Amino acid sequence: MNFDDTPQEAEFRATARAWIDANAPKQYEEELRKSSLGRTVLKNANILEVAKAWQKKKADAGWACLHWPKEYGGRGASPIERVIWQQEEGPFGQLSRMFIIGHGMCGPTVMAFAREEHKRTYLPPLASGEKVWCQLFSEPAGGSDVAGLRTRAEKDGDDWVINGQKIWTSGAHYSDYGILLTRTDPTVPKHKGLTMFFLDMKSPGVEVRPIKQASGASDFNEVYFTNVRIPDHQRLGEVGDGWNVSLTTLMNERSAIGAAVSTGFPELFEYCSSLMLDDSLAIEDRAVRSKLANWAVKASGLKYTSMRAISALSRGERPGPENSIGKLVAGSMIQDVATYALELQGAEGVVSGPEDAELAGRFQAMLLRAPGTRLEGGTDEIMRNIIAERVLGLPGDIRVDKDVPFNKIPTKGR
């Protein structure tokens, strides 16, 4: 049991560190280090531009999408090298956020299902951040039940004609391309009538409308499709096989391994170490200490669970299912942590917003962003189902719509 790199890993780490040290946009380091959930902003720069510039610089030097093959813009690195890179990139990794969906989900799907010429055309600019991709799966009628989606694709000559609406599309407003899951046959059971495509987001008939979230920010969009034409050669996988294609997309969400999840704990510990309650420091209060200790062991538990997964990668194994707990634990924890930090401030917690003093002001943004964390990328309830079914081997939910043609499934509760 040790935390040491192998000689090859140590060499890779040293190379990565030296390159980052010489090339990273250091002027933003402090701001990025201090950013926490719900608050990644740069005061004097457009974060999208800074992120794109950093990504391009990495790509030119062979440090983008490390685990992708070289011909598609990657480095052909091993999974453990990718983790080491993430560790070394540290706060600058915050700048990769806008590329996570493209690199983690769209890219691998295109790689698995697109024609060779498309892969060579579209993947390198995706890797370098010159083109940003989004993922168009969720719909008003298909959230956790994504296979319940209704956006239609109908064949017309060599094209498909798309009509419908997507929702919760992260980054659609700055995306150049998207992967799109559609219904091509509503007369068969829901999982069987789906087909996947990729499309140019500038295609005529695509309309992107930002959603104003409960937090007031707008990270997500609604995307409307009105007679949008997609050529058949942009189909990913067979007609009717879209569900299986989408499972490939979702299984590629392995990017989470090695990336630190936000729990809010370091911020709270730091805050309690300097906050005065009546005549003494918050951290000297018995009730505060008990709360802190309980969150501390969750945060460290997640950290070392991730280390165990990285160890499996280092041995060349596929990590076990342990890592699936990260989002489930961190999501509700950050919500509880933020609530408690405001609770400690008493009435003033209501008014200590982001413009307030550095420490106290962090928690309102966290509080308002946290509900989304518990919903996006699989709700807490879906995550529990996944753990129960895939890890513990419990039976799947009974699906009353399993064998029913999609157009016969009821659409209203009452």
Helix 325-345 to helix 362-373 angle (10° resolution) is 150
- Nearest distance, CB of residue 411 and another protein, angstroms: 23
DSSP code for 160: E
Minimum CB separation from another protein for residue 33, in Å? 16
In the complex with another protein, which residue's Cβ is closer, 64 or 328? 328
Measured CA to CA, the distance from residue 337 to residue 58 in angstroms comes to: 35
Give the shortest CB-151-to-another protein separation in angstroms: 28
The answer to whether 201 touches 167, Cβ cutoff 8 Å, is: no
Please state the closest distance from residue 410 (CB atom) to another protein, in A: 21
For the chain, the first-to-last Cα distance in angstroms comes to 58
Choice between 87 and 244, CB closer to another protein: 87
Q: Which is nearer to another protein, 213 or 314 (CB)?
A: 314
- Please calculate the CA angle 20-25-28 and round it to the nearest 5 degrees: 125
β-partners of residue 182 are 195
Q: How far is CA 263 from CA 32, 41, 285, 320, 402, in A?
A: 16, 19, 22, 22, 37
Compute the least distance from the CB of residue 370 to another protein, in Å.
18
Cα–Cα separations (whole angstroms), residue 195 to 14, 120, 198, 308: 45, 22, 11, 37
Specify the residue, 99 or 340, whose C-beta has the smaller distance to another protein: 340
Q: Which two tokens stand for residue 185?
A: 């046959």
CA 237 vs. chain centroid, Å, equals 24
Element of type H or E holding 79: helix 79-89
Q: Which is nearer to another protein, 64 or 329 (CB)?
A: 329
CA distance 310 to 325: 15
Q: Please give the structure tokens belonging to residue 302.
A: 């997640």
* Least distance in angstroms from the C-beta of 13 to another protein: 11
* Smallest gap from residue 325 Cβ to another protein (A): 5
Q: Which residues bind another protein (CB under 8 A)?
A: 1-5, 9, 269, 273, 283, 286, 289-290, 292-294, 296-298, 300-305, 307-308, 310-312, 314-315, 322, 325, 328-329, 381, 383-385, 387-389, 391-398
Closer residue to another protein, CB minimum distance, 173 or 303: 303
